[in-house]
Structure 1
Amino acid sequence: MLLRDKNAIVYGAGGIGRAVALVFAREGATVHLASRTQKRLDAVAEEIRSAGGTVHTAQLDALDEAAVDAHADAVAAESGSIDVSINLISVGDVQGTPLAEMSLRDFEQPIHSAVRTTFLTSRAAARYMLRQRSGVLLTFGGAGDPMHDYFIGGFQVALASVDMLRRQLAAELGPHGIRVVGLKTGGVPETIPADFPGRDALVESLVQPTMLGRTATLEDVGNAAAFAASDRAGAITASELNITCGAIVD
């Protein structure tokens, strides 16, 4: 098992958060799952327990500084360490509207949510990882080419901002034995609701530029996250795992 005896905090119990939490538990980690929605927390926790994994849940808003810090304090006090932290909350972005027609509020929503929650959750974990002189912070999303056939609003700007935050965290925390690794996908169609307007065309636009003729699956994301968080990736920091199936070339 890649993550045996590790304590991992996963923020977000939606599609990608669920997938990562399930793989983390399968690989031996004790998963501390945090989300705003109790129903989702309960559903994912039941899946993990049914498969023989260990999970603790907490209902919290990752935009709430005090709540994030208090949760990290509780995890460290009860479990003895925070070994892995990953923020996978939904940023509430608005897509499908041209930038020239978009309101400031809709544009900045994903930027505010992504940067604030990534900073708060990373800082909360890093404070304990500094004492341990070990730990892994994982971020999601990274810089990619602009989309020509779809209006993505402020979402890509948000991911690029998180990418820069990842780099700075890696530079500051690396001397203390803490790794910071990003996971970069070209989009995961399984997370797009079936009733999303123009879903088929959007999925095709994600598949078309790949070299493998497919996009990353939720299972792919979970497996990459588990590897990045494990000791087998001990030489990887300040970098991204490119799981775009060739849609983005490094």
Structure 2
Amino acid sequence: MHRFALLFAFAGCIPAFAQVPTAVPAPPSDTLSALRRMADGAAVVFAGEVVAIRRQMASVDDAVPEAVEVDFHVDDAVYGCQQGSIYTLREWGGLWSSENRYEVGQRRMMLLHAPGPGGFSSPVMGQDGAVPITSGNVDLRWVQTQTLQPSAPLTEQPVELPVDLPRPPRPFPISPPRGILPQAATFQPAPTYMRRTEIVPVTPALDAVLTLLHTWEAASHAR
């Protein structure tokens, strides 16, 4: 009886530490898909300028701040904040131990997690969610590294077109005639084909990206 009691007790404990495998989402296929995934995971999205940075030190002897508050003037609000207001991002000071993450005067398109109980927040996918804005364009190079083609040039995004072109020659050895000792290998090109790619920039206009973000937000509410 004691054996059965122990067996049933053990069986009742199995669900407590049994782990159900979770599916890992596939990488986005292109830069816009990666950006949309980030937007779906963000609670606050806006484009704005850094106007103030305050480091909060636990003591005067500390080299690393306890927290850092970054004030943004919200030029274009998508959701989670008000246009024309000052939005304060509060970050854990350890993120600033090796470098300054922002500078006054910088413009960023921010995709932020919702603040936690302590008021701390951070960009979605690390600094990928703090997208630089330069001359009216957004720099999506780091967003591109999340896609299925992260090894592509960071300033360009390959787009496949339905046109077949000859692949550059790839040599393969030719067997020598029977009865002749093999000499140094002879090579000739193999008749293979490759897909042509067209290179397009990943620094689109800010207005175009904000329009997309607004469209995605409206679609999510319409579901």
* Structure with the higher strand share, 1 or 2: 2
Structure 1-normalised TM-score? 0.22
Structure 2-normalised TM-score? 0.24
- Which of 1 and 2 has higher RCO (CA within 8 Å, sep 6+)? 1
